[in-house]
């Protein structure tokens, strides 16, 4: 039997896991490695990428920075979450604010330390990334449009970290040969950015009550639900642009199946959006977008499915 102290310790660990959104971090790490293997450096052995120590440090620094970002976001949103997410908020409060800040600063120090081992550019990149996350949570989040834009931009920033890492590894003569890789991951990033931006606006509709009480000047609060839904519809239509670039201009293998399926999901999303008027309905839309984003990560392997069909390619040259 566990003692009372051991049970409390386990609950605090679960609470901290909830605060840092520990279930999201592995997905982000997986997305970075899959992007490196299947998009940015398909000519390099997958095993060499997986064993690249400096790439590991970049991915590790990204994961730690994102975890610290969730902590500082939770710190500033504690009052709002009591209204919008009472059950999760009570779990998160098992860890004191002082402990959260201690972990926050420790994770940030670890992130910049790992980045500094890679290069001074990586150190500056992650230092700026950490500052922007704090600035967003402290100031920008409460403002309409710019808060949504910055949140989505910060979410895709880790992918540009590995893009810059591979960009710095290639010679000037090889830049032209690698431009298609950069265009592909940029188009992926734009598609992901739009999905994340739409999700942020759905969250504003979902959290309308808490935002009103805590004076968050979100789009639904200032302009109303109808305007918010119109903007979401426009952003959903805009996803056609990066998908067109990926499917019709660049070769993404069998991943075009994912994009065609995404259009079907997004069409259903729009129909249900205009019929939704309660927190529960907006939450279902939010979860639908999360499913689309996470499934997109796993579907990256469809760009080069031969890696799955012939496992030896993971440890041999193409």
Please give the chain's pLDDT, 318 residues, in tens.
Answer: 556 666 666 766 777 667 777 678 888 899 999 888 887 777 777 788 888 999 999 999 999 999 998 888 877 777 666 666 666 666 666 677 888 888 899 999 999 999 999 988 999 999 999 999 999 988 888 787 888 889 889 988 988 888 888 777 654 445 555 566 677 778 888 999 999 999 989 988 888 777 777 777 788 888 888 999 999 999 999 999 998 888 887 777 888 899 999 989 999 999 999 998 888 898 899 999 999 999 998 888 888 766 544 444 444 444
Query: d(Cα 99, Cα 79) in Å, to the nearest integer?
Result: 17
Residue 59 lies in a domain: yes
Query: d(Cα 32, Cα 53) in Å, to the nearest integer?
Result: 14
Closest CA to 167 of 181, 187, 153: 181
Q: Is 125 helix (H, G, I), strand (E, B) or coil?
A: helix
Burial 152-166, CB ≥16 within 10 A → b, else e: bbbbbbbbbbbbebb
Using a 10 angstrom Cβ sphere, with 0-12 exposed, 13-18 middle and 19 or more buried, the burial of residue 293 is: middle
Q: Is 1 helix (H, G, I), strand (E, B) or coil?
A: coil
Residues in the chain: 318
How much is the pLDDT for 247? 84
How much is the pLDDT for 145? 82
How much is the pLDDT for 76? 76
Residue 95 lies in a domain: yes
Residue 250 lies in a domain: yes
Domain with 308, as residue range(s), is 10-314
Residue 5 lies in a domain: no
Residue 155 lies in a domain: yes
Closest CA to 175 of 185, 188, 166, 184: 166
Domains: count for the chain: 1
Q: Is 82 helix (H, G, I), strand (E, B) or coil?
A: helix
Residue 1 lies in a domain: no
Give the global pTM: 0.84
CB atoms within 10 A of CB 283: 16
CB atoms within 10 A of CB 295: 13
Query: d(Cα 30, Cα 22) in Å, to the nearest integer?
Result: 13
How much is the pLDDT for 81? 65
Closest CA to 302 of 248, 246, 264: 246
Residue 4 lies in a domain: no
């Amino acid at each position: 039997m566990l003692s009372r102290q051991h049970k409390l310790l386990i609950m605090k660990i679960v609470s901290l896991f909830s605060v840092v959104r520990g279930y999201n971090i592995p997905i982000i790490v997986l997305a970075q490695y899959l992007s490196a293997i299947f998009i940015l450096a398909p000519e390099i052995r997958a095993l060499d990428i997986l064993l690249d120590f400096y790439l590991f440090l970049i991915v590790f620094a990204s994961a730690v920075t994102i975890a610290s970002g969730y902590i500082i976001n939770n710190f500033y949103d504690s009052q709002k979450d009591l209204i919008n997410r009472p059950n999760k908020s009570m779990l998160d409060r098992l860890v004191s604010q002082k402990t959260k800040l201690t972990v926050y600063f420790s994770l940030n120090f670890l992130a910049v330390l790992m980045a500094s081992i890679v290069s001074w550019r990586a150190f500056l990149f992650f230092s700026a990334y950490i500052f922007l996350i704090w600035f967003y949570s402290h100031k920008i989040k409460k403002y309409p449009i710019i808060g949504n834009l910055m949140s989505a931009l910060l979410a895709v920033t880790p992918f540009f970290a590995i893009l810059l890492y591979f960009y710095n590894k290639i010679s000037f003569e090889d830049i032209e040969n690698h431009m298609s890789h950069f265009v592909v991951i940029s188009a992926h990033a734009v598609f992901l950015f739009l999905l994340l931006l739409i999700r942020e606006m759905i969250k504003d509709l979902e959290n309308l009550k808490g935002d009103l009480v805590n004076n968050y000047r979100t789009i639904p609060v200032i302009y109303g639900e109808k305007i918010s839904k119109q903007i979401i519809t426009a952003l959903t239509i805009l996803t056609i642009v990066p998908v067109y670039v990926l499917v019709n201009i660049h070769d993404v293998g069998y991943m075009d199946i994912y994009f065609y399926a995404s259009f079907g999901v997004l069409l259903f999303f729009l129909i249900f959006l205009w019929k939704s008027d309660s927190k529960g309905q907006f939450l279902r839309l939010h979860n639908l977008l999360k499913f689309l984003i996470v499934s997109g990560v796993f579907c990256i392997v469809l760009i080069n499915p031969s890696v799955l069909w012939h496992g030896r390619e993971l440890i041999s040259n193409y």
